[in-house]
Every structure is written in structure tokens, then in C-alpha cells.
């Protein structure tokens, strides 16, 4: 949990870095003290602060511990089984299919308790690793996941009101990389993945299903290690700077990668039930050091170096991420002319810059808006003018038509007048003739009238 974080903050001070291989830590300390003008005092009685480590331990017990393991390996290589065996618990995991289109990560958190120590254990498994035909991007989801945890932590750290002391640390403390027991060499996928992970997480490579190779094991281990070294992959080295554990850690470093066998099945051997895998030709005992390196792995991972793994994650991998991220954001410790720059100054400068940027953008948008309005106005005006022109045109046409019609009406009226004149003069003439002729003409007239009218 936040234990290592706590310890960091309370204990990690102006001492030189832990792993200066050249100087023993004692000499560093004394020099440090001299520099700081600190005297060593001798006391003439019992003060009682030897209880300090216990006070610290009690505090940690109260808070609980937190440990996050990432297991990377092909489907079916035995990741879940190994974890179950390591922690002697059957964590519920169902078998994954081989048909995932891309690599995913699945995380589960469990609470374990051993006497008075509470451990919040998070297991992250890769699902579908190595199953695709195109494995170029297989490592990317893993890298993204690790970065995401760092990012979450960084965000919490940068908050104004933060609560780091009860933050559930989800950063991966160790990556168990499962190598298939082919007996030949590292697969390209493995090499590529480890190369991309070694600067982000502590990698402990293990040879999975080690009961399938026995005599060629040593050669295989040597081959693997030399390949890793040749390609510059930085795997986790068990620390050798503390005298109490230096020897055993150094010995274990020689035995990497650990060849492990996992099993939760119990088989009777002698008069005890032990975890083992039963074959027709024999029984592979998990906790037998002659059979496999499981016990070594458990020793190193949990009993001896859990704390160191957490510490390295925090002070090396996380710090690297943090540094890169902050530099990306534009923060530096040293400004131009090599003068130290405080975060505050950088922040102010950035704020100013962003403020100016925003103003500029506002101006731009305003201009654009004005421009658009003008354009629209112009278009509308143009349309208006067109309409007006059309209207005028139509009016003119209409006017012309009207004039024409007037003309024709007048012409028609004239014709009518002319006709009625002729009609009346005809009538007068006919009346005169009738008076002179008598009734014969009247019959002709009657006969003619219907024709005439």
C-alpha cells in the first residue's frame, strides 16, 4: 500500500543514492554528515528510541500493504496456476480462449491476511498474448496499462487537495515474464516485449512449465541470459547492498531465470501431502528445490525483496515516467542561462502563454465572425438587387401589355362606332325604299330580315 510511499517520505532524505556500487554506504553517510556540519553525539543513558523501527512497523501494519504483480505470457503457459501456488490460494480464474483479436489485460484485487499482516494483492494477467498472427503491437497494451497506473498516481500527486497516504497504489511492482520452455532461445516477441518493458517495470523472467525440460535446463538458462544481456534488456537484480541479504541475493541472481512449476494439486509423497504434478513416470514436487526453482522464486519475490521491488518501482520507474511527463508539459528545473526555475515560475509562464494564446484565438474567431457576417450581407444584398431588377422588368412588361390592350380596345370601339353609323344609315335608306315600293318588298324584307339579323 502506501507503505513504501510512507517510508520513502519519512526515511528517504539527503542520503546518496542506494546503489552506488563503488562506495560502501557507511562512508557516504559520514561524508554527508561532515558536509552538513552534523556532529555525532554519544549518549550517556538510555533514551528509548530504539523502538522507532517498531513504531514504524506498527504504523505499516495498521495501514496494510499493497503489492501488484503483472504476469505476461502466452495463453495457457501457467500464469494463473503459478500465482495460485505462490500465494497458496485458489484465486478464481477461468481459462482464457486463444481467439482474442488483440491483447488485453485483466486485473483482479484480493485481500490476503497472514497473521497480522494485511496485503492487498493485485494480479494483472495478459489475455491473448501471443495468440495473434501479427504480434507487432502485442506489447503496446501492456505498456499502456503500466503507464496508465503511473499517470493515475501522478495525477493524484499533482492534485491540490490530495490524499496520498490512503491512495490505493496500483502501480505494477513486478512483472513476471513467462518464457516458454522450448529449450532453444528467446522468441522475438519475448525479446521485443521485455525490451519495451524494462524501463517501466521490474522484470523477473521465469521459465514456465519447467518440468518439460530437465537436462537441458542449465544450457537453456545460460542461453536466455546471454540473449538478454546481448540485447540490453535490463531485468531486475536482487539488491546486494545490504549485508544481511547480499549473499543470498547474489546467489539468486546467478540462478535467473527461475524454472518454475505450478500446481495446486496435492499428491502423497512419503507420508506427507505435497503440491505436485503426477506423471506415470514420477512426481514433480513443486516445493522440492531439486525439482524446480519455485521455492527460490517465492523466497525472492515475497520473503526477501517485496519491499525493494516497491521501492524500485517508486524511485526509479515512476520517477522516470514523472520526469518525462513533466518535461513534456513544459516544466524544467533549469531555465535559459542555466538558472534554476521553480515549478511556480514555469507554471506562471505557461499560464501567461496560454492566456495570450486564448486571447489570440478569441481575436481570430471574432475576425472570422465579422468576415462571415460581411459576406452574408453581401450575398443578401446581391439577392435583393436581383429581385428588384426582376420586379422592375415585370412591371415594364406589364405596362407594355396594358398599353397594347388599350390600343386594341380603342381600335375596336372605333370599329363599333363606324359599324353602328353604317347600320343606321342603312336603315334609313331601307325605310325610304319601302315607303316607295309597297307590300311586295315587305315580304322580301321579312324574308331578308332573319338573314340580316
Partner 1 sequence: MEPLRRPLSPCSSRPSSPRSPPCETSVSVGIEAVLDQLKIKAMKMGFEFNIMVVGQSGLGKSTMVNTLFKSKVWKSSLPGLATPTPQTLQLHSVTHVIEEKGVKLKLTVTDTPGFGDQINNDKCLRPLDIEFLQRLCRTVNVVPVIARADSLTIEEREAFRSRIQEDLRNHCIDVYPQKCFDEDINDRILNSKIRERIPFAVVGADREHLVNGRCVLGRKTKWGIVEVENMAHCEFPLLRDLLIRSHLQDLKDITHNVHYENYRVVRLNESHLLPRGPGWVNLAPASTQQLTTPAPLKVRRRVQEDPKDEF
> Binding to partner 1 (CB under 8 A): which residues in 143-172?
144-145, 148, 152, 157, 160-168, 170
What is the residue whose three cell numbers read 439577392? 383
108 interacts with partner 1 by CB under 8 A: yes
Q: Is 439 in the site for partner 1 (CB under 8 A)?
A: no
- Contact between 9 and partner 1 by CB under 8 A: the answer reads yes
Helix (H) or strand (E) holding 266: strand 266-269
Residues within window 299-338 making contact with partner 1, judged by CB under 8 A: 299, 302-308, 311, 333
> Smaller CB distance to partner 1: residue 51 or 231?
51
Q: Which residues contact 365 (CB under 8 A, 6 or more apart)?
A: none
Buried/exposed 394-421: b ≥16 CB within 10 Å, e otherwise: eeeeeeeeeeeeeeeeeeeeeeeeeeee
Give one word for 418, left, alpha or beta, with left for phi > 0 and alpha for psi -120 to 50.
alpha
Nearer to partner 1, 117 or 387 (CB): 117
The distance of closest approach from Cβ of residue 148 to partner 1 in the complex, given in angstroms and rounded to an integer, is: 5
Site stretch for partner 1 (CB under 8 A), options 38-46, 312-320, 407-415, 418-426: 38-46
Q: Nearer Cβ to partner 1, position 74 or 311? A: 311
> What part of residues 249-308 is at the interface with partner 1 (CB under 8 A)?
298-299, 302-308
Q: In whole angstroms, how far apart are CA 378 and each of 368, 388, 389?
A: 15, 15, 17
Binding residues for partner 1, how many (CB under 8 A)? Answer: 101
End-to-end, the C-alpha distance of the chain in Å comes to 126
- 111 phi and psi angles, rounded to 5 deg: -110, 120
When asked if residue 347 is in the footprint of partner 1 (CB under 8 A), the reply is yes
Residue 34 lies near partner 1 (rule: CB under 8 A): no
Distance, CA of 164 to CA of 47 (rounded, Å): 32
Phi, psi angle pair for 422, to nearest 5°: -65, -40
Pairing of strands 203-207, 117-127: unpaired
- Using CB under 8 A as the binding rule, the residues of this chain from 170 to 199 that contact partner 1 are 170
Shortest distance, position 120 Cβ to partner 1, whole Å: 7
Min separation Cβ 384 and partner 1, Å: 53
Return the residue of 46, 94, 272, 443 that touches partner 1, per CB under 8 A: 46
Picking from 152, 122, 139, 105, the residue whose alpha carbon sits closest to that of residue 322 is: 152
Q: Decide: is 131 part of the binding site for partner 1 (CB under 8 A).
A: no
- What is the smallest separation between the CB atom of 51 and partner 1, expressed in angstroms? 5
114 binds partner 1 (CB under 8 A): yes
> According to CB under 8 A, which one of 62, 215, 432, 440 is a site residue for partner 1?
62
| Least distance CB 113 / partner 1 (angstroms) | 4
**CA separation for the pair 431, 435 (Å, rounded):** 6
CA angle, 44 then 45 then 50, to 5°: 120
**Residue 10 or 320: which CB sits closer to partner 1?**
10
The nearer residue to partner 1, 14 or 290, going by C-beta atoms, is: 14
Rank residues 49 and 452 by Cβ distance to partner 1 and give the closer one.
49
Amino acid at each position: 500500500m502506501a507503505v513504501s510511499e510512507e517510508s520513502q517520505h519519512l526515511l528517504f532524505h539527503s542520503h546518496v543514492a542506494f546503489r552506488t556500487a563503488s562506495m560502501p554506504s557507511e562512508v557516504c553517510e559520514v561524508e554527508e554528515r561532515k558536509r552538513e556540519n552534523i556532529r555525532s553525539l554519544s549518549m550517556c543513558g538510555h533514551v528509548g528510541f530504539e523502538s522507532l523501527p517498531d513504531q514504524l512497523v506498527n504504523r505499516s501494519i495498521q495501514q496494510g500493504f499493497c503489492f501488484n504483480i503483472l504476469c505476461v505470457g502466452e495463453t495457457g503457459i501457467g500464469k494463473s496456476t503459478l500465482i495460485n501456488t505462490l500465494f497458496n490460494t485458489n484465486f478464481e480464474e477461468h481459462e482464457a480462449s486463444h481467439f482474442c483479436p488483440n491483447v488485453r489485460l485483466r486485473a483482479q484485487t484480493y485481500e490476503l491476511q497472514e497473521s497480522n499482516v494485511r496485503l492487498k494483492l493485485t494480479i494483472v494477467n495478459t489475455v491473448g498474448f501471443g495468440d495473434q498472427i501479427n504480434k507487432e503491437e502485442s506489447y503496446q497494451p501492456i505498456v499502456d496499462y503500466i503507464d496508465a497506473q503511473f499517470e493515475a498516481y501522478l495525477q493524484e500527486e499533482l492534485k491540490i487537495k490530495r490524499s496520498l497516504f490512503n491512495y490505493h497504489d496500483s502501480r505494477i511492482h513486478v512483472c513476471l515474464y513467462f518464457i516458454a520452455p522450448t529449450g532453444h532461445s528467446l522468441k522475438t516477441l519475448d525479446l521485443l516485449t521485455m525490451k519495451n518493458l524494462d524501463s517501466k517495470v521490474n522484470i523477473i523472467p521465469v521459465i514456465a512449465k519447467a518440468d518439460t525440460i530437465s537436462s537441458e535446463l542449465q544450457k537453456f538458462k545460460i542461453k536466455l541470459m546471454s540473449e538478454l544481456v546481448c540485447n540490453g534488456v535490463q531485468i531486475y537484480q536482487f539488491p546486494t547492498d545490504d549485508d544481511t541479504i547480499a549473499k543470498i541475493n547474489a546467489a539468486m541472481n546467478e540462478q535467473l531465470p527461475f524454472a518454475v512449476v505450478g500446481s495446486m494439486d496435492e499428491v502423497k509423497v512419503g507420508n506427507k501431502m505435497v503440491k505436485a504434478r503426477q506423471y506415470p513416470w514420477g512426481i514433480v514436487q513443486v516445493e522440492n528445490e531439486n525439482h524446480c526453482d519455485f521455492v527460490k522464486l517465492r523466497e525472492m519475490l515475497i520473503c526477501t525483496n517485496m519491499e525493494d521491488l516497491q521501492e524500485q518501482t517508486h524511485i526509479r520507474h515512476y520517477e522516470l515516467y514523472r520526469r518525462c511527463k513533466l518535461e513534456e508539459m513544459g516544466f524544467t528545473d533549469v531555465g535559459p542561462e542555466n538558472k534554476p526555475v521553480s515549478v511556480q515560475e514555469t507554471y506562471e509562464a505557461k499560464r501567461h502563454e496560454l492566456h495570450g494564446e486564448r486571447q489570440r484565438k478569441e481575436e481570430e474567431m471574432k475576425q472570422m465572425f465579422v468576415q462571415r457576417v460581411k459576406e452574408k450581407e453581401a450575398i443578401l444584398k446581391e439577392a435583393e438587387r436581383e429581385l428588384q431588377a426582376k420586379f422592375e422588368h415585370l412591371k415594364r412588361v406589364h405596362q407594355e401589355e396594358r398599353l397594347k390592350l388599350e390600343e386594341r380596345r380603342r381600335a375596336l370601339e372605333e370599329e363599333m362606332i363606324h359599324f353602328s353609323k353604317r347600320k343606321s344609315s342603312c336603315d334609313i335608306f331601307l325605310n325610304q325604299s319601302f315607303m316607295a315600293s309597297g307590300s311586295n318588298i315587305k315580304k322580301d324584307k321579312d324574308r331578308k330580315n332573319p338573314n340580316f339579323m
